[in-house]
């Protein structure tokens, strides 16, 4: 019972921390987590390709983790897409929307068809975008 209280208190403190973050920090956090999820999907897909029928319990666990990462990644992509400002910067918003949509499609392909080449490219592109986003954050601080 006490453990549940501690967990709930932690969740509330994390929510409070997120409320004090700037929009720039929130997008940074989302991008970082999206990259982690995509790398995990790739790693789990690699594992499942190599371990087709060896240890049934490992396969089940990795499959669950992979599905959870797909769900998280798709949720993050949705969050990034809806945060775009099509009125203020329509060209930039459209480009980012298309990029996020490409990532979404590649995640689904990796999950459903085990085609990873597009996912690998998506990871590379998102890492480049994150690097740019971090540079923007440094410029704002100076």
93 touches 86 (CB < 8 A): yes
Q: Report domain extents, the chain.
A: 22-141
Q: Determine the pLDDT at residue 41.
A: 96
Average pLDDT, the chain: 86
Q: How many CA atoms lie within 13 A of 116 on its CB side?
A: 14
Confidence of residue 91 (pLDDT cuts 50, 70, 90): very high
- Give pLDDT, residue 1: 47
| Fold held by 22-141 | 1.20.120
pLDDT at 10 over 60: no
35-86 pLDDT, tens digit per residue, is 999 999 999 998 888 876 566 778 888 899 999 999 999 999 999 999 999 9
What CA–CA distance (Å, rounded) separates 110 from 104?
10
Note the residue count of the chain. 142
3-state secondary structure 22-40: CHHHHHHHHHHHHHHHHHH
pLDDT over 90 percentage in the chain: 62
């Amino acid at each position: 019972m006490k453990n549940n209280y501690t967990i709930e208190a932690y969740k509330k403190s994390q929510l409070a921390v997120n409320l004090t973050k700037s929009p720039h920090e929130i997008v940074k956090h989302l991008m970082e987590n999206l990259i982690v999820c995509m790398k995990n999907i790739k790693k789990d897909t690699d594992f499942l390709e190599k371990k087709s029928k060896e240890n049934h319990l490992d396969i089940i666990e990795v499959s669950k983790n992979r599905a959870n990462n797909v769900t998280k990644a798709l949720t993050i992509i949705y969050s990034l897409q809806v945060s775009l400002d099509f009125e203020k910067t329509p060209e930039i918003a459209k480009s980012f929307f298309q990029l996020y949509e490409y990532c979404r499609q590649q995640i689904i392909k990796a999950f459903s068809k085990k085609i990873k080449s597009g996912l690998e490219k998506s990871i590379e592109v998102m890492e480049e975008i994150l690097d740019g986003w971090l540079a923007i954050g440094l410029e704002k601080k100076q």
